[in-house]
Structure 1
Amino acid sequence: MGDRTAFFYGTLMAPEVLHRVCYGPGTVGKDPAKTYLASQLSFQPAILHDYCRHRVRQCDYPGIVAENGHNVRGTYVAGLTDGDIHRLDIFEGDEYRRIEVKVELPKEAGNFVQAETYLYTAGERKLEKKEWSYEEFRRDKMHRWADNSNEYQEVDEAFEDDPTGGRGVKADTSVKTDKEAKEEAEEEERDVLNGAV
């Protein structure tokens, strides 16, 4: 079992999608080793404070951005490995940056835990003002995310010739803290406003 934790607020809240990204197509339930790895993950509801979740324009998935006074309900997952995080980084692509945040576990009110999550960095203009709905995703769009979906192409191609499926790959798994990520975003925004970029 891995010792990495993450907060998921979009398509990865669905165990089917998370398993597909981390373990490959059609393996959980068929491959004993990958079924065992999947069984070691624990899922529980969580809340990320001072962020807001929006739909990404013309996409099935959302993005989050820092926004005081807003909360994002999602899923806290424990038991992830470095290999899982590496595959998730590839899946999320360059629209997102992995950061460290504190999330609240509602079953234990006031209990905050550290987790990694993916901050949307492709620009707020690409986000709709409307809140993304997990229920709507499961009901109307989950069928698009079946094993043969193009959404997994980059992850599959990255590990095509790796017999460990990415688990043997050493990757840079460093993350920025929530404060560091906010400071970096503010600095980039100042640079843009000052014409430095």
Structure 2
Amino acid sequence: MLTFKGRRRIINVFLVISLLIFAVVIVVIIIREDEDMVPYQSDLLKNIVKMKEIDLLYVIDNNTYVKLKSKHGNVNIIDYNLDLINLDLLYTSKDFAIDAKASRGEYLSQRFLKVYDNITGHMDNMTFTTGPSGILEYDYTEGKGIVKNGVTIYQDNNAISSKIVEFDANNNFIIFKDNVTVEYKPSQE
């Protein structure tokens, strides 16, 4: 039978072993969060996971989907909102398709997309560009969007520029607002 000192010595040995295991686990966690070791880091106190090489496909229905690619970004693990850097976007529906690139973007609640800064892209048979402060917002459910802070849309040799463009993919129309200019060059036959 063990004496009090013998039991205490065994408890101390278990305590030292437990502390060593705890220290090893902490070291492994620190090493694993090194950017070169894994494609993500986390800040659990802020509910944020930092990721590299994001490739997201969100299917809305049989004919409609959104595909987002990004070099890196943050994911809020509570509401699954994404904040993306160097974003490539492809949105396709039955009657409407848009692909775009931007300096950054946000994917909110699997319903909204906000894209910022130096946006370029293609929409059906048109191309578009914004300036450094351009903003594109799109609601997948409503099929409606808006581009703010200046946009130019090109089709063939023609161009339309305005400060604001509103579009409705479901009803197939575009509205240009505020400081609208048109460059029209008739085709030569």
Shared fold per TM-score greater than 0.5: no
Higher strand share: 2
Which structure has the bigger radius of gyration? 2
More helix by share: 1
TM-score class, shorter-chain normalisation, is under 0.3
State TM-score, norm by structure 2: 0.24
